Structure formats: C-alpha cells, structure tokens
Homo-oligomer: A and B are copies of this chain.
Amino acid sequence: MRGSFTAKGQATRGRIIQGAAAVLRERGVAMMTLDDVLARTSTSKSQLFHYFPGGKDELLLAVAQFEADQVLEDQQPYLGCLDSWDAWYRWRDTVIQRYEEQGDHCPLGSLFLQIGRNTPGARAIVTELLRQWQEHLATGIRAMQTAGHVPASLDVDRTAAALLAGIQGGVSILLSTGRSTHLHAALDEGIMTLRNAASAAI
C-alpha cells in the first residue's frame, strides 16, 4: 500500500499531515474541517482521500502519531542524559518552555478525545508515548543512583510514574487556566523528592 506511493506522493501526504497539524493547533479539533486542511495545503479532496482512504479518522490518527513523535524530540537532548542535578534542571526548563510556548492547545489530548479511546490505534499511540517518556525518566533516576546522588532504595518506577503524572497534570492545568504554576510545582516537587530522598538517606 504505502510502497505504491511515489516520492511525490509521499511528499504530498506529508504536507497534508503537517497542514492538518497546523490547522488543528489553530482551530482545535472540533472546529477543524477537511476543507480547512485542503485550503492550507493547496491540495484537493481527491488527494486527501487518495492518501487517507479511511477519511478524517485516518488523517487524525496520522497527525496524532506525528505530534506524539514531536513530544519526546522536543525534550532532547536533555531527556536523554539526566545524569546530574544540573541536567535535570536544564530538562525541567526545556519542558516548561515548550509547553508555555505551545499555549493553550493540546494537539494530542484533544485529538484523541476526538478519535476516541475506542479506536485501538489512538490508544496505542498515547500508551507508547507515555511508556517511552516514563522509561527515559526512570533511566535518568537510575543514572543518578549509579552516580550515588540518589539512594538505591528509592522506588524508581513509582517515582518516575508520579513525576510523569505531575507533568501531565501540570500541562493539562496550563491548558485549562493558562498558568504554568502547577507544571512548575510538579517538576520542582518531583526533583525535590529525589534530592530529599538523597538527604534523608544520609
């Protein structure tokens, strides 16, 4: 199927996805129409349905995947080497900056509320994203343990899970209220927990 697309076809397909993502950030899922996407990408209906035979749902799913890939990329290279307190703080700043810039549109969240959890594809995308994200955090914590900055007795998975939850909640509150206070608090608390665990263990 996908192999039958030529290079030009792939390019068009990609353009449609990116255009849809842009429209989505501007207008939100509820307000986005296929015609918006066509207008923005200078493509025609037949093209859209040529590359996304499943119609709107398939397109939204593709955009969801596109946005999901972006999330972790935007946190690099910091998320990949959380091996010192300084690295953790730099990563924290990156996260906060990214989501403050994003403003009050959450492509992923709204997307998959629209697509619905029922569709297996949507759920898989989010689940996989969260899994990778948490794994990065856990790896970072383990690195700190290895370096002796955090006691080995700390429950890595639970700490990472809690931190990830805090971030998610912080972002979702930022979307709701426009204030990044909670995201800030969640990140600071999370890192502080690591540090306190360290000092408490002394």
Contact = CB atoms under 8 A, between A and B. Distances in A.
Interface of A: 28-31, 104, 106, 109-110, 112-114, 116-117, 123, 126-127, 130, 158-159, 161-162, 164-173, 175-178, 181-186, 188-190, 193, 196-197, 199-200
Copies of this chain in the oligomer = 2
A176 B116 contact: no
Contacts of A110: 113
Contacts of A126: 176-177
A127 B182 CA distance: 12
A87 to B, nearest CB: 21
A158 B185 contact: yes
Contacts of A116: 28, 30-31
Given A159-B189, A162-B166, A114 B30 contact: yes
Given A176-B126, A176-B130, A197-B196, A181 B161 contact: yes
CB-CB nearest 3 A-B residue pairs? A169-B169, A168-B169, A162-B189
A100 to B, nearest CB: 15
Contacts of A171: 169
Contacts of A117: 104, 175-176, 178
Contacts of A109: 109, 113, 172
Contacts of A186: 161-162, 165-166, 169
A149 B29 CA distance: 47
Given A29-B113, A113-B110, A165 B176 contact: no
Given A113-B28, A158-B188, A172-B172, A123 B177 contact: yes
Nearest to A193: B193
